[in-house]
């Protein structure tokens, strides 16, 4: 029986205690059929699924799998985790997003930026911390989605995002140089990576360097295969070679390493090593752990994760929603649903030893270019990853680290936002400041602190612009008396109060104006500080035998000022269409007073 139905003429809800009433109010529309279809998008596209879609989805899923397997291994290396953790993440992300994801092109899994941020916090603490960070990230993102708090990412402006992404790409590429040239080292930070390279320059391995550089060159060449001309066969051939370039490069490197090891019974390249075979274990996330002789409780693990419990969810949401919008092709994107899908993917992934995941632009582009029709393509990708975990782990052993480093560096070359930086410089040069400050701070201080610095500088610029409104002034002469007409171009906030007062008094003194008309056409709100400043300015002008008129201010702003000082403002608000009428009336009011004097 619905809650709204009557029992003995009374509303059933009237008998509820207050907490139950609150729960009912918050959730009464949550379990409706409309909400069910909205929160489980698979219920929308699955009933109309056709066999033709299946073929396209399988092809797209295979293409994505050939990209995600080498990337998963490589990104696990960036996070300082064993390769299987990257594959576990890719497998679960693909499966869960198929059910709750709203954009057919988006693929969820490990990404370079997330891996680098994981390494900064848990890279030397064992996989338990990475798995727990996936669980915490999922909980935070899911909570943000349920509470519709996705607007928080809007405080991260485009210039800050460009600076952050470019710095992350440079940092990631710098961290892979050591593997590219075959030297030892643990840090993936920008400065530490290059210091390590110069300190071990004498340890550079020739064959690793040759293989790594060759991998980058081959990948850049294979990428151009998508532009191959000719009949449809050659165009399709070039397209799928370009899409599979990462798998081709990695498998070629593995075959080369295996062949050379058989010849000389030695390995000329540093190899990935053993990958744990089989399906990922299904178990609770580690809420406590022991590393060496030290035990960590849940609270101690959270404390060790530090600021990553905030920054990881924000970056995950920013990446995933931005990718969904990029591939939506004009269709509206439900940001809340994307956040819910991302949160559930991370929480479910933590039960199969996944590290934090988010949307991947590279793999989403591969998915889109492969002609995916529905989210079912993710199932194909997940199945291929599972098969690889079960059957190909011995092959993964022979993957050279230099090949993986080449794959990552080649991908990072296109993540540095040169074109976006040029657009920012061309459009509004002041936005270049937060972009450059974000990038430099990310490189020198780390990604999280760099993001905070960038947001802080951006907010300071916005606050400065708010506190310095543009005030258009125009001196007029009416009946031989100077009148200054001033019109601010935006609302007045507390930070602009003294600036407005100073500018009006300055311009009035400059033109020797007896009357000031403050046009409120663009002013829709004022706060207490502004109201207090206007009171002070009005008194100052009266003491110097000048008058101010508040012209065409809207009702809500008038009410605010009247509550501050009704006697003062009640006689200064005017709404006549002509300024001449107002000024002549004021002059007429002053004339008898002056004659009497």
Q: CB of 284 within 8 A of CB of 351? A: yes
Tally Cβ neighbours within 10 Å of residue 588.
10
Ordered mean pLDDT values, 10 residues apiece, the chain (597 residues) = 43 47 51 75 88 88 89 89 91 91 90 87 81 95 85 80 90 91 84 91 93 94 85 85 88 90 74 84 90 87 88 88 76 83 94 93 84 90 91 87 91 88 92 94 88 89 86 86 88 85 86 87 87 88 86 88 87 84 79 48
Mean pLDDT, the chain, integer? 85
Between helix 112-122 and helix 447-467 the angle, nearest 10°, is 110
The tokens 């669980």 sit on which residue? 135
How far apart (Å, rounded) are the C-alpha atoms in residues 142 and 341?
Answer: 8
pLDDT in tens, 25-58: 544 555 577 777 778 888 888 888 888 889 889 9
What integer pLDDT is reported at residue 590 of this predicted model?
67
What integer pLDDT is reported at residue 330 of this predicted model?
64
What integer pLDDT is reported at residue 592 of this predicted model?
53
Burial class (CB in 10 A: 0-12, 13-18, 19+), 259: exposed
Q: Which residues pair with 472 in a beta bridge?
A: 487
pLDDT in tens, 315-353: 898 888 888 877 776 677 788 888 999 999 999 999 999
What integer pLDDT is reported at residue 31 of this predicted model?
56
Q: What is the SS3 string spanning 101-119?
A: CCCCCCCEECCHHHHHHHH
Q: CB of 127 within 8 A of CB of 353? A: yes
pLDDT in tens, 118-147: 887 776 778 999 999 999 999 999 998 888
- Domains of the chain and any CATH numbers: 61-274+293-416 (no CATH), 469-590 (3.30.750.24)
Strands 515-519 and 547-551: parallel
How far apart (Å, rounded) are the C-alpha atoms in residues 435 and 115?
Answer: 22
């Amino acid at each position: 029986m619905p809650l709204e139905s009557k029992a003995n003429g009374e509303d059933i809800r009237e008998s509820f205690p207050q907490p139950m009433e609150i729960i009912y109010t918050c959730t009464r529309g949550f379990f409706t059929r409309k909400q069910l279809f909205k929160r489980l998008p698979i219920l929308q596209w699955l009933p109309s699924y056709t066999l033709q879609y299946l073929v396209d989805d399988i092809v797209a899923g295979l293409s994505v799998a050939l990209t995600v397997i080498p990337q998963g291994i490589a990104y696990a290396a960036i996070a300082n985790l064993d390769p299987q953790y990257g594959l576990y993440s890719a497998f679960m992300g693909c499966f869960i997003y198929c059910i709750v994801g709203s954009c057919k092109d988006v693929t969820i899994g490990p990404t370079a930026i997330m891996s680098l941020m994981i390494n900064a916090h848990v890279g030397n603490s064992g996989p338990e911390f990475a798995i727990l960070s996936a669980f915490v990230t999922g909980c935070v993102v899911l909570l943000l989605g349920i509470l519709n708090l996705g607007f928080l990412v809007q405080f991260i402006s485009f210039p800050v995002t460009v600076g952050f992404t470019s710095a992350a790409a440079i940092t990631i590429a710098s961290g892979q140089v050591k593997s590219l040239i075959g030297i030892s080292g643990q840090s993936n930070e920008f400065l530490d990576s290059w210091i390590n390279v110069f300190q071990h320059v004498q340890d550079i391995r020739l064959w690793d360097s040759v293989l790594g550089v060759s991998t980058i060159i081959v990948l850049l060449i294979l990428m151009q295969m998508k532009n191959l001309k000719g009949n449809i066969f050659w165009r399709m051939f070039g397209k799928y070679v370009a899409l599979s370039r990462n798998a081709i490069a990695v498998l070629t490197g593995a075959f080369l390493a295996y062949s050379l090891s058989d010849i000389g019974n030695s390995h000329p390249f540093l190899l990935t090593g053993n990958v744990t075979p089989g399906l990922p274990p299904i178990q609770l996330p580690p809420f406590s752990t022991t590393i060496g002789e030290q035990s960590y409780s849940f609270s101690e693990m959270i404390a060790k994760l530090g600021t990553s419990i905030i920054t990881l969810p924000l970056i995950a949401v920013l990446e995933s929603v931005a990718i969904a919008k990029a591939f939506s092709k004009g269709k509206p994107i439900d940001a809340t649903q994307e956040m819910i899908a991302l949160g559930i993917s991370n929480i479910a992934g933590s039960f199969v030893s996944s590290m934090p995941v988010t949307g991947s632009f590279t793999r989403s582009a591969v998915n889109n270019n492969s002609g995916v029709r529905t989210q079912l393509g993710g199932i194909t990708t997940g199945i291929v990853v599972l098969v690889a975990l079960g059957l190909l782990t011995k092959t993964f052993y022979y993957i050279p680290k230099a090949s993986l480093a080449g794959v990552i560096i080649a991908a990072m070359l296109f993540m540095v936002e040169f074109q976006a930086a040029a657009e920012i410089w061309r459009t509004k040069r002041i936005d270049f400041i937060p972009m450059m400050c974000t990038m430099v701070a990310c490189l020198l201080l780390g990604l999280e602190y760099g993001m905070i610095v960038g947001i802080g500088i951006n907010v300071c610029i916005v606050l400065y612009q708010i506190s310095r409104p543009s005030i258009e002034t125009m001196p007029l002469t009416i009946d031989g008396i100077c009148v200054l007409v001033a019109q601010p171009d935006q609302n007045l906030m507390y930070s602009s109060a003294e600036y407005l007062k100073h500018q009006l008094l300055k311009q009035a003194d400059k033109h020797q104006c007896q009357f000031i008309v403050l046009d409120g056409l663009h002013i829709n709100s004022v706060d207490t500080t502004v109201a207090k400043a206007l009171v002070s300015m009005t008194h100052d002008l009266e003491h110097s035998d000048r008058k101010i008129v508040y012209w065409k201010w809207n009702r809500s702003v008038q009410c605010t000022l009247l509550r501050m000082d009704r006697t003062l403002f009640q006689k200064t608000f005017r709404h006549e269409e002509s300024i001449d009428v107002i000024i002549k009336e004021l002059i007429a009011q002053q004339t008898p007073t002056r004659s009497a004097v």
